[in-house]
Amino acid sequence: MLAWIILLPLIGFAFSILFGKKLPKPLVGFIASVVVLGSFLFSIDVFNTVSADPNGISERLFTFLAIDGFNVSFTLFADRITSIMLLVITGVGLLIHVYSISYMSHDEGFYKFFAYLNLFVFNMLILVLGSNLLVLFFGWEGVGLCSYLLIGFWYQNPSFGKAARKAFIMNRIGDLGLLLAIFLCAIYVGSFEFSVISDAAQSGALPEHLITTISILLFVGAMGKSAQIPLYTWLPDAMAGPTPVSALIHAATMVTAGVYLIVRNQALFMLSSSANDLIMFIGLATSLVAAVIALKQNDIKKVLAYSTVSQLGFMFIALGVGAYSAAMFHLVTHAFFKALLFLGSGSIIHAMGDEQDMRRMGGLRKSMPITFITFLIGTLAISGFPFLSGFFSKDEILASAFGHNRWVWGIAIISATLTGFYMFRLLFVVFFGTFRGTKEQKSHLHESPWLMTIPLMILAILSVFGGMLNLPKYAGSLSEKLHHWIEPNLPILRNPVHVSHSIEYMLVGVAIFIFLLAFILQYRKYVLKSAVPEEDNEMSKSALVLANKLYVDEAYDKMFVEPTETLGDYSSWFDRNIIGLIPKSIKGWNTALARLNARVQNGNIEYYLVYMSLAVFLVLFLSAICLKLWN
Amino acid sequence: MSLLEIGFHIFDKVGISNYLFLSVLLFCIGLFGVLYRRNAIILLMCIELMLNAVNLMFVSFSSYLGDSNGQLFVFFIMVVAAAEAAVGLAILVSIYRNTRNTDVSFLDNLKG
């Protein structure tokens, strides 16, 4: 059963890449979606199985490698944590596949796009289904590759190719951490199986400093994939890819792989308080910095990208304070509303004829009602409108943070407030006010076809009701369903610090207050006063710093890229002029010698005869001398 | 006195060194012709001359040593020389047809 889940997308990939070019586009898209639908149905089956039996199911496929008694098997394993990931990947993935059929319908690389999407789903499923670190690493690298391929999908544009390379290289830096963690496990645990590592950590077989080292290295891997400080700069650039890719890979699934990795190795992280603190601080810093940058971005997808970074920061805060179920909960709801927002923005970009600057939009709510309503729901969900999914999931993280430390909560609440600010800015600027684009764009404006709007509607419904999965404590008997459901699969249970009911209500009150604050302030500014974000040359200094993403990219260029390039220049000079001298001179002598020899071979038979006679004479002469000497 | 005996008698009288001298002289004339002349027909003739110089030497030594193997070899060389002359002339004819001359110094297409 588990094998089918990963095999179906692989078959879809093989089909699209081999035959897709010749077949009609809708058929390719249909088959690519059907295989994901198949995986989704199998995932539901897995969900039912693990609901009945929390121990999970495992399927051993073959031996990955066997060296001197060290065996690594290619084993698939699914427990409740995995099954949540499976449903998100295949469910949201299916909707995005369907959406892409229409979104990419004019693209020449249609079949390639769907092949890559299926390959991505295949790798992502391997990532979450692997029962050991090596299988996980296989999927981990696979999704990195697909991310690279899809970011650079429109490779004719050099800057898109550059963004793809940047994403790949930054991910590789994180992957190095993961790889080192895998090596440490091989040396000190002697196995890659998650269960064995977890047992070793709990039984005390692993010394504490090793647990901390492995945890931090795993987290470095998670930093790369999940775009945390300092490795987050690739994610905003990754928006170069087609919008469905941003929704699937860079919002809903791949970037949450880091969260999954940490939840999967919960035992290690629970036993290392310093690793936990590091995760929490990185999460806090990331959520705050990304939210601040998002305030002044004018590219509709860049706002959403920084929002994604910020929300991932929230998940890491939750992981850092030990609220694993809260992190998973936010992962799921975030997958819903962020996929919705990205697909919504795709719908807008589609209607605007590839315009992404929201200063050129405005007033779109009349011409695109379905997109507007679903986008509104997504915005409300992410910024914490009461009783929508984001409200519950973010509140749970905030409550856990409050229970951990007031200061952590204080910083997190600032980021949460900023979420409302940048999202409502986006919403109001794009959908309200007057249209600011060209005449041509205005005449072209249209609601997207139903293949695009239906996924939007489904995701909107999920964004509204996703909170039901894990209602807070005050909901009584319905509360914390998800938490209790995945609890048996978390090796180490720590009773979450419970805050009293009165404080809980106070926290909810604060959450509603900050939502209203953001809503009212932004409504006044962008709707009542109908302000439009400034053009680049009118910006104040501080706004310019934010619009330029705090110059982090430039700083990285100065600190890492340029020194490396300089070193490369020197090395290449050394290689060419010093090392290269040896082969060059050998080559020189040989050429000269060969030239000399070639002159002898002039093709004229008379000369050959002369040489031959001379040679015979020489041989005879020498042999005569030798004979003389001999006797 | 049989013809063979007369032959041996003459051979003894002349002495082997003169035969060898003649043979070497013929060989050198042939070699010089091969190296010096450019006309392919003359080249072939000079090669014949060299072969026959060798034949003469074989016969001389055969007679001198009383061993008939040397004379056997001469027959072989004659056969080969005939074949060589036939093939050589055939090549020569086709060269002439293609280039309208028999000067070997023009045939330098195989230079490296």
Domain assignment present for A461: yes
Between A597, A601, A606, which is nearest B111 by CB? A601
Nearest CA-CA partner of A248 in A167, A343, A174: A343
CB-CB contact of A359 with A429 (8 Å): yes
A70 in helix, strand or coil? strand
Q: Which residues of A touch B105 (CB under 8 A)?
A: 604, 606
Place of tokens 């195989």: B110
Output the average pLDDT for chain B. 87
A371 and A322 part of one domain: yes
pLDDT for A199:
85
The domain in which residue A623 lies consists of 605-631
Task: Please answer yes or no on whether A603 and B34 come within 8 Å at the CB atom.
Answer: no
Name beta bridge partners: A76: A59, A130
Q: How far apart are CA A485 and CA A462, in angstroms?
A: 19
CB-CB contact of A506 with A513 (8 Å): no
Residues 49-78 of B with CB under 8 A from A: none
Q: How far apart are CA A121 and CA A13, in angstroms?
A: 10
Nearest CA-CA partner of A273 in A405, A406, A412, A79: A405
The answer to whether B95 faces chain A, any CB pair under 8 Å, is: no
Q: How far apart are CA A78 and CA A47, in angstroms?
A: 9
CB-CB contact of A79 with A50 (8 Å): yes
For the segment B61-80, what is each residue's pLDDT rounded down to a tens digit? Answer: 988 888 888 889 999 999 99
State which residues of chain A have pLDDT below 70.
475-476, 494-498
Q: How far is CA B16 from CA A154, B2, B97, in A?
A: 95, 21, 46
Q: Which residues of A touch B34 (CB under 8 A)?
A: 609
Domain assignment present for A399: yes
CB-CB contact of A342 with A241 (8 Å): no
Nearest CA-CA partner of A78 in A46, A109, A107, A104: A46
A578 and A504 part of one domain: no
Q: How far apart are CA A446 and CA A375, in angstroms?
A: 16
Q: Which distant-in-sequence residues (6+ apart) come within 8 Å of A602 by Cβ?
A: B108, B111, B112
A509 and A553 part of one domain: no
| Helix H or strand E encompassing A65 | strand A57-67
Neighbours of A597 (CB within 10 A): 10
Chosen domain end from A510, A534, A558: A534
Place of tokens 């998670």: A222
CB-CB contact of A55 with A79 (8 Å): yes
A408 and A496 part of one domain: yes
Residue ranges of E strands in A348-435: none
A358 and A280 part of one domain: yes
Q: How far apart are CA A293 and CA A290, in angstroms?
A: 5
pTM for this model (two decimals): 0.78
Per-residue DSSP letter, A435: -
Domain assignment present for A258: no
Place of tokens 């779109």: A364
pLDDT for A192:
87
| Helix H or strand E encompassing A62 | strand A57-67
A429 and A500 part of one domain: yes
One-letter identity of residue B44: L
pLDDT over 60 (residue B33): yes
Q: Which residues of B touch A604 (CB under 8 A)?
A: 104-105, 107-108, 111
Task: Please answer yes or no on whether B112 and A603 come within 8 Å at the CB atom.
Answer: yes
Name beta bridge partners: B12: none
| Pairs of residues, one from chain A and one from chain B, whose beta carbons lie less than 8 Å apart | 31
pLDDT for A73:
87
CB-CB contact of A328 with A81 (8 Å): yes
Instruction: Give the ipTM.
Output: 0.76
Q: So where are chain B's domains?
A: 3-102
CB-CB contact of A170 with A233 (8 Å): yes
**Which of A2-41 are b and which e, b meaning 16 or more Cβ less than 10 Å from the residue's Cβ?**
beebbbbbbebbebbbeebeeeebeebbebbbebbbbbbe
Between A603, A609, A613, which is nearest B110 by CB? A603
Residues of A with CB under 8 A from a CB of B: 597-598, 601-606, 609-610, 613
One-letter identity of residue A397: I
In terms of pLDDT, which residue wins out, B105 or A554? A554
Domain assignment present for A307: yes
| Helix H or strand E encompassing A26 | helix A25-52
Domain assignment present for A137: no
End-to-end CA distance of chain B: 63
Between B38, B108, B112, which is nearest A598 by CB? B112
Domain assignment present for A75: no
Per-residue DSSP letter, A255: G
For the segment A151-186, what is each residue's pLDDT rounded down to a tens digit? Answer: 989 888 888 888 899 899 989 989 999 999 999 888
- Which chain B residue's Cα is nearest to A603? B111
A491 and A570 part of one domain: no
Phi, psi at B39, each rounded to 5°: -75, 125
A630 and A491 part of one domain: no
pLDDT for A126:
92
CB-CB contact of A489 with A265 (8 Å): no
- The angle that helices A406-431 and A501-523 make with each other, rounded to 10 degrees, is 30
Burial of A528 (0-12, 13-18, 19+ CB in 10 A): exposed
A560 and A582 part of one domain: yes
A512 and A596 part of one domain: no
The answer to whether B31 faces chain A, any CB pair under 8 Å, is: yes
What angle (nearest 5°) sits at the alpha carbon of residue A327, between those of residues A214 and A330?
A: 145
Q: Chain A closest CA to B104's CA: distance in Å?
A: 7
Q: How many structural domains is chain A composed of?
A: 3
A585 and A454 part of one domain: no
Chosen domain end from A534, A559, A581: A534
A589 and A511 part of one domain: no
Q: Which of A595, A596, A609 to mutate to test the interface with B (most CBs of B within 10 A)?
A: A609
Q: How far is CA A474 from CA A93, A110, A328, A396, A499, in A?
A: 33, 49, 20, 12, 11
Neighbours of A76 (CB within 10 A): 23
Lookup: tokens for A511? 């959450």
Domain assignment present for A220: no
A475 in helix, strand or coil? helix
pLDDT for B5:
81
Q: Which residues of A touch B38 (CB under 8 A)?
A: 606
What CATH number does the domain located at B3-102 have? 1.10.287.3510
